[in-house]
Amino acid sequence: MSLDLGKIRALEKIVRLKIIDISRKSTGIKGISTELADLREYVQGDDVRFIDWKATARKGRLMLRERVEEREQSILIMLDVSGSMGLGSGASKLRHGVFASAAIAYLAIKDKNRVALATFSNFVKDFIGFGKTTRHLYAIFDVLVNVKPYGNTDIEYSVLRVLPHIKSRSLVMMMTDMSDKPESMRRAFELLTLNGHKVIVFHIYDPEMYKLPEGVDVIIFKDPSTGKEMKLNVKDPMFKATYEALVHAEERKRMDFIKKCRGAGIDIMPIKTTELVEHALIRYLTVKKRGFLLK
């Protein structure tokens, strides 16, 4: 397999910088460090071999770095690459999804876990099976740096295609804007949980996308899946009222759907594009720390 090493190393550099930047912020993230371990104050009886002398010098008291138990876990990252994911008020939803997927893969493999990647829309375009080597990470990065948005979203069909490749209990982290039929999505999520997998769905959205532009009379709406365009007069009060009512109705339906899924044990997180990488890492580290996959 020929890898695009230039693009891969550029993505790796961006991911490492993002992880460093997130770890420096006061976000409550625990576990993002060079050792992926928690830092706490030393108490009598602790193993002195694990004293972190740099942290001790910085804080002025003995600090201990707790090691996270190293047992191999399996993480499947599913990235929606449908046409709607190519939209965004700044960088596209897909671009943010690429960075989040790369960051999770980077940390998970660094932590000696097995990682797989599936990119999908109305079918599974790319699938990289489970592995934990640096070369395997680069194979995942190679797919991520070359993804392009296409087609509609069919999560249920994509899950059915991927499921036979998940041989052991896994953490499935899915990144999607959920532009799919609610009941079809719910069946897909439940199918994964019924097979014993822990499912975390990041519902990626860009709130700026739904705001009508100011200072213009006419805008062109384009369907990302079909390419069809429609000109609309945004100054028309009737259009504006109808549009805002539709946006609110869709928001209510979205929240009702998320509530139902959570009631069925499916973890769905509505995440703004700008916060995706940070929250994806938090959720990965939280599940890892709780030892869900080790039970």
Q: Could you give the percent of the chain with pLDDT greater than 70?
A: 84
Is CATH 3.40.1440.60 the classification given to domain 74-294?
no
Average pLDDT, the chain: 83
**8-state DSSP, 124:** E
- The pLDDT confidence band at residue 31, using thresholds 50, 70 and 90, is very low
Average confidence (pLDDT) over 248-262: 82
Residues counted in the chain: 295
Where are the chain's structural domains? 32-67, 74-294
Tens of pLDDT, residues 272-288:
888 899 888 888 888 87
Q: Spell out the residues 6+ positions from residue 236 whose beta carbon is closer than 8 angstroms to its own.
A: none
Tens of pLDDT, residues 160-196:
999 999 988 999 999 999 989 999 999 999 999 999 9
pLDDT of residue 67: 56
Q: In the predicted model, is pLDDT for residue 233 greater than 80? A: no
Q: In the predicted model, is pLDDT for residue 27 greater than 60? A: no
d(CA 80, CA 97): 8
Q: Which amino acid is at 285?
A: L
Beta strands in 94-145, from DSSP E residues, in sequence order: 114-120, 124-131
Q: Distance of CA 5 to CAs 99, 129, 228, Å?
A: 17, 20, 37
DSSP string, 222-277: E-TTT--EEEEETT-HHHHHHHHHHHHHHHHHHHHHHHHHHHTT-EEEEEEGGGHH
Q: Spell out the residues 6+ positions from residue 205 whose beta carbon is closer than 8 angstroms to its own.
A: 93, 177, 270, 271, 272, 273
Q: Which of 155, 148, 145, 77 is nearest to 117 (CA)?
A: 77
Pairing of strands 63-66, 74-80: unpaired
Whether the Cβ atoms of residue 47 and residue 270 lie closer than 8 Å to each other? no
Whether the Cβ atoms of residue 102 and residue 16 lie closer than 8 Å to each other? no
Tens of pLDDT, residues 36-51:
456 777 777 677 777 8
Q: Spell out the residues 6+ positions from residue 223 whose beta carbon is closer than 8 angstroms to its own.
A: 229
Tens of pLDDT, residues 88-103:
877 899 999 999 999 9
Average confidence (pLDDT) over 52-69: 78
- Which position has the higher pLDDT, 208 or 73? 73
- The pLDDT confidence band at residue 26, using thresholds 50, 70 and 90, is very low
